[in-house]
Amino acid sequence: MDNFVWDKDRQSRTGVAEAVFCAHKSDQDLRAIIEFSQSNEAPVLLTRLNLDQYQRLPVKLQQILDYDTTSSTAIINEPPTIVSCNDICIVTAGTSDLNIAAEAQRTLAFNGYKAPIFSDVGVAGLWRLMEKIDHIRQYKIIIALAGMEGALFSVLAGLVRAPIIAVPTSVGYGVSQDGKVALDSALASCSPGILAVNIDNGFGGANAAIKIINQFSER
Protein backbone atom coordinates (compact mmCIF):
# COMPACT_ATOMS: atom_id res chain seq x y z
CA MET A 1 0.00 0.00 0.00
CA ASP A 2 2.84 2.38 -0.72
CA ASN A 3 0.91 4.20 -3.39
CA PHE A 4 -2.22 4.99 -1.42
CA VAL A 5 -2.37 7.42 1.50
CA TRP A 6 -5.31 6.95 3.84
CA ASP A 7 -7.10 10.24 4.48
CA LYS A 8 -7.63 9.28 8.08
CA ASP A 9 -9.51 12.32 9.35
CA ARG A 10 -11.45 13.29 6.24
CA GLN A 11 -14.77 12.57 7.99
CA SER A 12 -14.07 14.92 10.85
CA ARG A 13 -12.32 17.53 8.70
CA THR A 14 -14.79 17.81 5.83
CA GLY A 15 -17.87 15.96 7.09
CA VAL A 16 -17.87 13.30 4.38
CA ALA A 17 -16.48 9.77 4.65
CA GLU A 18 -13.53 8.39 2.69
CA ALA A 19 -14.32 7.30 -0.86
CA VAL A 20 -12.10 5.89 -3.60
CA PHE A 21 -12.54 6.72 -7.29
CA CYS A 22 -11.66 3.45 -9.09
CA ALA A 23 -11.90 4.42 -12.77
CA HIS A 24 -8.21 4.70 -13.65
CA LYS A 25 -6.74 2.42 -10.98
CA SER A 26 -4.81 -0.76 -11.83
CA ASP A 27 -6.15 -4.11 -10.61
CA GLN A 28 -3.15 -4.37 -8.34
CA ASP A 29 -3.74 -0.99 -6.68
CA LEU A 30 -7.45 -1.79 -6.26
CA ARG A 31 -6.65 -5.03 -4.48
CA ALA A 32 -4.25 -3.26 -2.14
CA ILE A 33 -6.78 -0.55 -1.34
CA ILE A 34 -9.55 -3.04 -0.57
CA GLU A 35 -7.31 -5.15 1.64
CA PHE A 36 -6.04 -2.12 3.50
CA SER A 37 -9.55 -0.76 3.98
CA GLN A 38 -10.84 -4.03 5.37
CA SER A 39 -8.02 -4.36 7.86
CA ASN A 40 -8.51 -0.72 8.80
CA GLU A 41 -12.14 -1.46 9.71
CA ALA A 42 -13.29 1.91 8.45
CA PRO A 43 -16.24 2.19 6.07
CA VAL A 44 -15.15 3.04 2.51
CA LEU A 45 -17.19 3.77 -0.60
CA LEU A 46 -15.75 2.67 -3.94
CA THR A 47 -17.13 4.58 -6.96
CA ARG A 48 -16.78 3.96 -10.71
CA LEU A 49 -15.87 0.34 -10.07
CA ASN A 50 -17.11 -1.18 -13.29
CA LEU A 51 -18.26 -4.76 -13.63
CA ASP A 52 -15.07 -5.85 -15.43
CA GLN A 53 -12.86 -4.48 -12.67
CA TYR A 54 -15.06 -6.12 -10.05
CA GLN A 55 -14.97 -9.48 -11.78
CA ARG A 56 -11.18 -9.40 -12.08
CA LEU A 57 -10.87 -9.13 -8.28
CA PRO A 58 -10.04 -12.32 -6.34
CA VAL A 59 -13.24 -14.00 -5.10
CA LYS A 60 -12.41 -13.39 -1.46
CA LEU A 61 -12.20 -9.65 -2.13
CA GLN A 62 -15.42 -9.71 -4.13
CA GLN A 63 -17.08 -11.18 -1.06
CA ILE A 64 -15.90 -8.33 1.12
CA LEU A 65 -17.60 -5.84 -1.18
CA ASP A 66 -21.28 -4.92 -1.20
CA TYR A 67 -21.28 -4.30 -4.95
CA ASP A 68 -24.10 -2.66 -6.94
CA THR A 69 -24.09 -2.96 -10.73
CA THR A 70 -26.46 -0.10 -11.55
CA SER A 71 -24.42 2.52 -9.74
CA SER A 72 -21.01 0.83 -10.21
CA THR A 73 -20.32 1.37 -6.52
CA ALA A 74 -19.20 -0.93 -3.72
CA ILE A 75 -19.09 -0.55 0.03
CA ILE A 76 -16.49 -1.99 2.39
CA ASN A 77 -17.42 -2.20 6.05
CA GLU A 78 -21.00 -0.93 5.85
CA PRO A 79 -21.37 2.00 8.23
CA PRO A 80 -23.87 1.71 11.11
CA THR A 81 -27.37 2.65 9.98
CA ILE A 82 -28.13 6.30 10.51
CA VAL A 83 -31.68 7.51 10.77
CA SER A 84 -32.66 9.03 7.46
CA CYS A 85 -33.62 12.67 7.71
CA ASN A 86 -35.49 12.80 4.41
CA ASP A 87 -34.19 16.22 3.37
CA ILE A 88 -32.97 15.37 -0.11
CA CYS A 89 -34.69 14.10 -3.24
CA ILE A 90 -33.32 13.13 -6.65
CA VAL A 91 -35.09 14.10 -9.88
CA THR A 92 -34.19 12.79 -13.36
CA ALA A 93 -35.18 14.03 -16.80
CA GLY A 94 -35.21 10.53 -18.31
CA THR A 95 -34.76 6.86 -17.58
CA SER A 96 -31.33 7.03 -19.22
CA ASP A 97 -30.09 9.10 -16.27
CA LEU A 98 -30.76 6.32 -13.76
CA ASN A 99 -27.20 4.95 -13.46
CA ILE A 100 -25.91 8.28 -12.30
CA ALA A 101 -28.97 8.82 -10.11
CA ALA A 102 -28.15 5.50 -8.47
CA GLU A 103 -24.58 6.66 -7.82
CA ALA A 104 -25.97 9.69 -6.03
CA GLN A 105 -28.54 7.67 -4.10
CA ARG A 106 -26.00 5.09 -2.95
CA THR A 107 -23.54 7.79 -1.85
CA LEU A 108 -26.27 9.42 0.20
CA ALA A 109 -27.25 6.08 1.75
CA PHE A 110 -23.62 5.31 2.61
CA ASN A 111 -23.54 8.61 4.51
CA GLY A 112 -26.87 7.95 6.25
CA TYR A 113 -29.37 9.77 4.02
CA LYS A 114 -32.26 8.08 2.29
CA ALA A 115 -33.41 9.95 -0.83
CA PRO A 116 -36.22 9.03 -3.24
CA ILE A 117 -35.84 9.27 -7.03
CA PHE A 118 -38.49 11.02 -9.13
CA SER A 119 -37.61 9.78 -12.60
CA ASP A 120 -38.52 10.64 -16.18
CA VAL A 121 -39.96 14.09 -15.57
CA GLY A 122 -38.17 15.90 -18.42
CA VAL A 123 -39.77 19.03 -19.84
CA ALA A 124 -40.76 17.56 -23.23
CA GLY A 125 -43.97 16.57 -21.43
CA LEU A 126 -44.26 19.27 -18.80
CA TRP A 127 -47.33 17.70 -17.17
CA ARG A 128 -45.11 14.83 -15.89
CA LEU A 129 -43.15 17.31 -13.79
CA MET A 130 -46.21 19.30 -12.76
CA GLU A 131 -47.93 16.17 -11.43
CA LYS A 132 -45.08 15.64 -9.01
CA ILE A 133 -43.98 19.18 -8.25
CA ASP A 134 -45.87 19.52 -4.98
CA HIS A 135 -44.25 16.34 -3.74
CA ILE A 136 -40.81 17.51 -4.89
CA ARG A 137 -41.30 20.87 -3.15
CA GLN A 138 -41.30 19.15 0.24
CA TYR A 139 -37.58 18.39 0.08
CA LYS A 140 -34.99 20.88 1.26
CA ILE A 141 -32.42 20.09 -1.40
CA ILE A 142 -32.98 18.76 -4.91
CA ILE A 143 -30.37 16.83 -6.85
CA ALA A 144 -31.50 17.06 -10.48
CA LEU A 145 -30.09 14.98 -13.34
CA ALA A 146 -30.49 15.68 -17.03
CA GLY A 147 -28.57 15.05 -20.23
CA MET A 148 -29.26 16.33 -23.76
CA GLU A 149 -30.12 20.05 -23.41
CA GLY A 150 -30.70 20.04 -19.63
CA ALA A 151 -33.77 22.29 -19.72
CA LEU A 152 -35.10 20.55 -16.62
CA PHE A 153 -32.65 22.48 -14.44
CA SER A 154 -34.05 25.87 -15.43
CA VAL A 155 -37.71 24.90 -15.22
CA LEU A 156 -37.29 23.24 -11.83
CA ALA A 157 -35.35 26.16 -10.36
CA GLY A 158 -38.18 28.51 -11.30
CA LEU A 159 -40.75 26.36 -9.53
CA VAL A 160 -39.22 25.57 -6.14
CA ARG A 161 -37.58 27.27 -3.17
CA ALA A 162 -34.96 24.57 -2.76
CA PRO A 163 -31.47 24.98 -4.19
CA ILE A 164 -30.93 22.78 -7.24
CA ILE A 165 -27.76 20.70 -7.42
CA ALA A 166 -27.52 20.03 -11.16
CA VAL A 167 -25.80 16.82 -12.25
CA PRO A 168 -25.50 16.96 -16.04
CA THR A 169 -25.33 13.51 -17.63
CA SER A 170 -23.64 12.32 -20.81
CA VAL A 171 -26.96 11.19 -22.26
CA GLY A 172 -27.35 12.35 -25.85
CA TYR A 173 -25.60 12.32 -29.19
CA GLY A 174 -24.33 14.79 -31.78
CA VAL A 175 -23.72 18.17 -30.12
CA SER A 176 -24.66 16.79 -26.70
CA GLN A 177 -22.86 13.48 -26.78
CA ASP A 178 -20.52 14.23 -23.91
CA GLY A 179 -22.88 16.03 -21.54
CA LYS A 180 -21.34 19.43 -22.24
CA VAL A 181 -24.59 21.06 -23.37
CA ALA A 182 -26.47 19.94 -20.26
CA LEU A 183 -23.64 21.24 -18.08
CA ASP A 184 -23.51 24.61 -19.81
CA SER A 185 -27.30 24.89 -19.62
CA ALA A 186 -27.11 24.50 -15.86
CA LEU A 187 -24.40 27.16 -15.65
CA ALA A 188 -26.04 29.62 -18.07
CA SER A 189 -29.56 29.19 -16.76
CA CYS A 190 -31.92 32.15 -16.67
CA SER A 191 -33.17 30.80 -13.30
CA PRO A 192 -30.93 31.82 -10.39
CA GLY A 193 -29.89 29.38 -7.70
CA ILE A 194 -28.63 26.43 -9.75
CA LEU A 195 -25.38 24.83 -8.65
CA ALA A 196 -23.49 22.50 -10.98
CA VAL A 197 -21.14 19.58 -10.52
CA ASN A 198 -19.12 17.72 -13.16
CA ILE A 199 -20.81 15.65 -15.88
CA ASP A 200 -22.03 12.27 -14.57
CA ASN A 201 -20.83 13.21 -11.09
CA GLY A 202 -23.64 11.72 -9.00
CA PHE A 203 -21.12 11.15 -6.22
CA GLY A 204 -20.15 14.82 -6.12
CA GLY A 205 -23.75 16.00 -6.16
CA ALA A 206 -24.52 13.77 -3.21
CA ASN A 207 -21.45 14.95 -1.31
CA ALA A 208 -22.40 18.57 -1.72
CA ALA A 209 -25.92 17.86 -0.48
CA ILE A 210 -24.49 16.06 2.55
CA LYS A 211 -22.18 18.96 3.33
CA ILE A 212 -25.11 21.36 3.22
CA ILE A 213 -27.28 19.22 5.48
CA ASN A 214 -24.40 18.67 7.89
CA GLN A 215 -23.92 22.40 8.27
CA PHE A 216 -27.50 22.99 9.32
CA SER A 217 -28.28 19.92 11.41
CA GLU A 218 -27.22 18.91 14.87
CA ARG A 219 -25.70 15.63 13.68
Strands 19-21 and 141-146: unpaired
Tell me the HSE value of 173 on the side-chain side, using a 13 A CA sphere: 1
Q: Which position among 77, 86, 138, 198 is part of the footprint of a copy of itself (CB under 8 A)?
A: 198
Give Cβ neighbours of residue 52 (< 8 Å, ≥ 6 apart). Answer: none
Q: Which position among 55, 58, 82, 124 is part of the footprint of a copy of itself (CB under 8 A)?
A: 124
Could you give the string, one character per residue 125-144, with x where binding to a copy of itself holds by CB under 8 A and - elsewhere? xxxx-----------xx---
Distance (Å, rounded) from C-alpha 20 to C-alpha 35?
13
16 binding a copy of itself? (CB under 8 A) = yes
Region at 158 (left for phi over 0; alpha for psi -120 to 50; beta for the rest): alpha
Closer by beta carbon to a copy of itself, 59 or else 173:
173
Amino acid, res. 46: L
24 binding a copy of itself? (CB under 8 A) = yes
75 binding a copy of itself? (CB under 8 A) = no
Could you give the string, one character per residue 25-54, with x where binding to a copy of itself holds by CB under 8 A and - elsewhere? xx--x---x--------------x------
- Min CB(10)–a copy of itself separation in Å: 6
- Min CB(151)–a copy of itself separation in Å: 4
